[in-house]
Each structure stands twice: as structure tokens, then as C-alpha cells.
Amino acid sequence: MPQNDAELEGRDVKDEVPNLKDFDQRLRDEAAVEPSLEVPQGEPTSKTQIIAIYGKGGIGKSFTLANLSHMMAEQGKRVLLIGCDPKSDTTSLLFGGKACPTIIETSGAKKVAGEEVKIGDVCFKRGGVFAMELGGPEVGRGCGGRGIIHGFELLEKLGFHDWDFDYVLLDFLGDVVCGGFGLPIARDMAQKVILVASNDLQSLYVANNVCSAVEYFRKLGGNVGVAGLVINKDDGSGEAQAFAEAVDIPVLAAIPQDDDLRKKSANYQIVGTKESQWGGLFAQLGEAVGIAPPVRPTPLDQDGLLGLFDAKDTGGDYQLVPATDEDMRGKFSKPKVSLEVVYDDA
């Protein structure tokens, strides 16, 4: 109901200003809440392989997965591709750049309308591939990892463990420091992990982190292993190959750094098809993904990771120089009064 001038005049202006301290505290309280450990789980059918794909943001996971899933479908497999990255870019290449509604945003809108989410609201298909995006919270308004957990709870309600697929491919952000993104590894939701990396330190750092997460949960009784590494934008320099050998995992495919691939990816064109000159590469990758067993990696420490690269490129030969108390005090540095008792000579 519209308010009259008298009501507006009687209102304290400070009532119109949000209490930022309270708002900040609510955000901190939300971030501090541990995710529920009671995410519904069920055993997948014996024929279903649930595979989590990890890699650094921008390394080419979505490109690799869109084309891999398309080729697998051409090979006669039933494939479900699920994007688990808050950027929601997994399915964009598969759908020619078209963004599909995410499970989280659709669920929110349906809840407000008093309706239930249906498969057709969130799952779409092309070339025999079924695909959906979990999505995530709005920027600065929630935890991406908690969004992943919430998304899988919704998938369970939609009947996830009753679906009939040969492969379920999960596209995850490689930052498994967050428990939400480490969900498939921590709770045995996938049978195996595939890493996507390139011949650069940062992408291999992320790949090594994922290996560390796998090894950590194996020690706690987990069963997830690493099936292998896909080298994307391979320039032939060999660091990614050396990393795979060092952590004792196979290289499933090496996708070359090629201008034709770059252009087709930028234009949302599928190359994982028999009609493409790159079809054979993705056909071999599809076969390798299916038969590669989950192995237990041996992650590297920081020095071991740096050792894969030439020291002149990484600064790996730098020796740490300890700082002193005088360094920290700077111009305020003064000699400390000694408490030592000095006796005169007798």
C-alpha cells in the first residue's frame, strides 16, 4: 500500500540504510557452516561409469568433455554430461554457445512458484548426449562448493541413481581445496578421476592437488582413483608427460596446440565427431576413458613439481633467505637492551 507523506516523514532515515555489519556477519556465519555429510547416495548400476574430470579453470575441460561426450554417443554409448562448475560453461560448446538453465536457478524459481522441477526443465540433449548444469550462487552471495552439494541433492530427488547411462561425466573445477568440489572423491560418488592439464606449471599444480586429494581419501578408506591425464594444447615441450610419469598415471590423450582447434572451440563447433579430422583422436580418447582403471597416484611436493621445469623459467633454483627482526621493524629498528649480566674482571 502506498505510504503518505506523514508516514514517510515519521520514519527514521537510518531505517532505510541496511545494517552492513549484520549483513557481513550473516555471510560469515553461512560460510562457517559445515556442509551436511548426509548427501543421499546410492550404488550406480554395474554398467554405469561415473567419472569426475578435474582441471584448472580455462585449461580446456569443457572443450575436452563436450567433444569426448559427443564422440562417445556416436560410438553408441548413452552419455550424461553434468557441469559442476559455477561458471556453467560445460554445456555451452555442446549446445553451440547456448546457455541452458541451471538446476540451482531453476529450482529456486520453481520453489517461489510452488512448482516441482522436472527433467525437461534442466536436462537437454544433442547428438545423443544428455547434458545439464548444476550452476552455483550469484557472485559474492554464497559458497560454490555448497551449491554443488545442493545440486546433487536435487539430482537425487530427480532420480539420479535410477537413470540408465553407460557414462556419467562430471565436469569439476580443479580447486578441490573446497569440500564441495571434492565431493566425488571424498564420498566415492565417482569410480575414477580424469585430469586435464597442459605443459604449464599452474595447470599441473592443480592436477597435482587433485592427486593429493585422491591419495588423502584413499588413506581414509576411499576407492576413487585416477584413470589418467589428458594433455590439452600440447606444444610438445613434455612437462605434462613428465608429470604423468612422476605421479604414476597414464596419458590418455594429447590434444595438440593447433589453430584449427582453437578457432573451432572459440566458435562453439564440435570436433568430436566422425566427420571431423579430429574425430580419430577423440575416438581413441573415448576408448581409453572406458578401459582405464582407477590407479592410486603418488603426488609430488612443491620442489618435485618445480623440478619438472627448467629452473630459469620457474625460479626453482632460488634459495630462501630468512628475514630478521630488524628487517621487519625497518626505520623503527633499535638495538635491544641486553639482559645479560656482565661482571667486571677481578
Query: Active-site residue among 110, 125, 175, 188?
Result: 175
Write a three-state SS string for 37-90.
CCCCCCCCCCCCEEEEEEECCCCCHHHHHHHHHHHHHHCCCCEEEEEECCCCCC
Query: Active-site residue among 61, 192, 233, 264?
Result: 61
61 annotated active-site: yes
Residues 326, 189: Cα–Cα separation, whole Å: 53
Phi/psi of residue 293, nearest 5 degrees: -80, 155
87 annotated active-site: yes
Q: Which residue has cell 585422491?
A: 214
Cβ neighbours around 28 below 10 Å, total? 9
Residues 279, 63: Cα–Cα separation, whole Å: 14
Residues 159, 201: Cα–Cα separation, whole Å: 40
Query: Active-site residue among 77, 87, 110, 125?
Result: 87
Give me the half-sphere count of Cα atoms (radius 13 Å) on the Cβ side of residue 39.
23
Which residue type, as a one-letter code, is found at position 115? E
Please give the C-alpha separations between residue 80 and each of 130, 226, 254, 293, in angstroms, as whole numbers.
5, 20, 23, 20
111 annotated active-site: no
Residue pair 234/244 in contact (Cβ under 8 Å)? The answer is no
331 annotated active-site: no
Catalytic residues: 56, 61, 87, 175
